[in-house]
Amino acid sequence: MAHGAGSTTGSTRGRAARRVLFSFAGGLGHLAPMLPIADILRGAGHRLGVCGEADVLAGTEGFDAYFPEGDTTSPSGRSTGTLVPPDLDHEYSVIGTHFAGVLAARRFDLVRDVIDRWSPDLVICDEMDFGAMTAAEHAAVPRVVVDVIASGALTRIDRIREPLGRLRATHGLPSDAEFSFLKRDLVISPFPPSFRDPDFPLPPAAVSIGPGPSRASHGHPAIDWLRSGEEPHRVYVTLGTVFNTESGDLFVRLVRGLHRLPARVLVTVGRDVDPATLPSPDDNVRIERFVPQSTVLPHVDLVVNHGGSGSVIGALTHGVPVVALPMGADQELNARRLVALGAGTTADPVTVTSAEIGGITLDALSSRSLRRGAEQLRDEIARLPPPASVLALLEDRMFRSRLR
């Protein structure tokens, strides 16, 4: 366990600082939605710990205590794997067998141990971290759940009922077949309400918040390059930080399909993919491993991505339409919401050709209706209360925890 140095300046509410444990059960997409909340709590003088995947924590700053799971690996030249057709039924099953099953059991043990050793007054976890939810309940520590699935439609109760029931029984917790904790706990949704699938409404105890200010980041030469040039359009391409290594030849088709467009195109492939494995880009295409999304989006007219929640909502926050190529997880559900709300379009990542990618992207760049749809969502996001609006709710829970 590694501990980072932190400072405590005193709570804004005039009470002693408390400890808050952030816990996430996946990659960066599971941690990133919680970081604005961490910023607010840090600013209020509370001490923050974080528990999750070691690779993600290796690039995360600002916490007082780190509780990594697994080992940190160095950036590599891994292949982009094999691209398989999206299968939503399979994804629903993965939530049950992996997130609510094997991973939940493992994370229960890890988070319960962290609670015993670090004594947090509050556990804030992502909606897929069922092990952390159960560990907090077992330890009688208040918990708050942060949504990380923008559409809200990936978790199906019938798929998680049996494995979570088994986990609860193993640790002597009462049966909760109706998952009352999903309605009882405070749920924070950092997404525009209209983007959520209407068949899966937020629970009554949920609150929606906006993204807050962009986290500070250093400049990047790719941004200067993106802003220069005489091309009339700017396009950003990403396949995320997980499915980039399961994308087969999709990056190749993207580069070949976009280089002829009247656009300057920035492609990020992720830390595990070597840009040298892709075709040599033309002058209007630049390939990087990583550039902070928040520094790119203010300068682009269109995003071509995998349909991940963070990538999609990030684009919409800036009023930028999306061409989605969903490969798995919640991506197809997000693509459906993009189309339903008129803020994006979608294509089959397995069958789409380079020529078709170029045509779809050019059509999207010239579409006023897609721009209007994205701008409407941008305006909705801008009207959401800031992350600071939940500080009082969080502090009420952590202060009460000392009475347990």
Q: What is the DSSP string of 88-107?
A: HHHHHHHIIIIIIIIHHHHH
Q: Distance of alpha carbon 40 from its chain centroid, rounded?
A: 18
What pLDDT was estimated at residue 12? 47
Secondary structure of residue 221 in the 3-state scheme: helix
**Residues 19-210+385-401, CATH architecture:** 3-Layer(aba) Sandwich (3.40)
Which pLDDT tens digit goes with each residue over 35-52?
999 999 999 999 999 999
Question: Rounded CA gap, 25 and 30, in Å?
Answer: 7
What pLDDT was estimated at residue 2? 38
Q: Half-sphere exposure of residue 234, counting CA atoms within 13 Å on the CB side?
A: 17
Q: Is 21 exposed, middle or buried (0-12, 13-18, 19+ CB in 10 A)?
A: buried
Among 214, 248, 370, smallest CA distance to 304 is for 370
Q: Residues 278, 281, 285, 287: what is their CA dihedral angle, to the nearest 10 degrees?
A: 40
User: Phi and psi for 158 in degrees, rounded to 5?
Assistant: -65, -20
What pLDDT was estimated at residue 74? 63
3-state helix/strand/coil string of 302-359: EEEECCCHHHHHHHHHCCCCEEECCCCCCHHHHHHHHHHCCCEEECCCCCCCHHHHHH
Can you give the residue ranges of every domain in the chain?
A: 19-210+385-401, 221-383
Quick check: 151 and 336 in contact, CB under 8 A? yes
Question: What CATH class has 221-383?
Answer: alpha beta
Whole-structure pTM value: 0.91
Cα-Cα-Cα-Cα dihedral sign, residues 129, 134, 140, 146: positive
Token couple for 43: 């600013």
Q: What number of other Cβ atoms are within 10 A of residue 119's Cβ?
A: 12
Question: Rounded CA gap, 29 and 127, in Å?
Answer: 12
What pLDDT was estimated at residue 1? 35
Burial string for 154-177 (b: 16+ CB within 10 Å, else e) reads: bbeeebbbebbbebbeeeeeeebe
pLDDT tens per residue, the chain (404 residues)? 333 333 333 444 556 899 999 999 999 999 999 999 999 999 999 999 999 999 999 989 999 999 999 887 766 666 788 899 989 999 999 999 999 999 999 999 999 999 999 999 999 999 999 999 999 999 999 999 999 999 999 999 999 999 999 999 999 999 887 777 777 789 999 999 999 999 999 988 899 999 977 765 667 999 999 999 999 999 999 998 888 878 889 999 999 999 999 999 999 998 888 888 888 888 999 999 999 999 999 999 999 999 999 999 999 999 999 999 999 999 999 999 999 999 999 999 999 999 999 999 999 999 999 999 999 999 999 999 999 999 999 999 998 765 44
Burial string for 283-314 (b: 16+ CB within 10 Å, else e) reads: ebbbbbeebbbbbbbeebbbbbbbbbbbbbbb
What pLDDT was estimated at residue 205? 83
If phi > 0 it is left, if psi is from -120 to 50 it is alpha, else beta; for residue 89 that is alpha
Same fold, 19-210+385-401 and 221-383: yes
Containing H/E element for 287? strand 285-288
What pLDDT was estimated at residue 6? 35
Containing H/E element for 257? helix 250-258
What pLDDT was estimated at residue 178? 78
What pLDDT was estimated at residue 11? 45
What pLDDT was estimated at residue 399? 86
The gap between the terminal CA atoms of the chain, to the nearest Å, is: 27
Question: Rounded CA gap, 78 and 38, in Å?
Answer: 32
Question: Rounded CA gap, 152 and 191, in Å?
Answer: 10
What pLDDT was estimated at residue 41? 97
Which pLDDT tens digit goes with each residue over 151-175?
999 999 999 999 999 999 999 999 8
What pLDDT was estimated at residue 15? 66
Q: Which residues pair with 235 in a beta bridge?
A: 265, 302
Token couple for 348: 């089959």
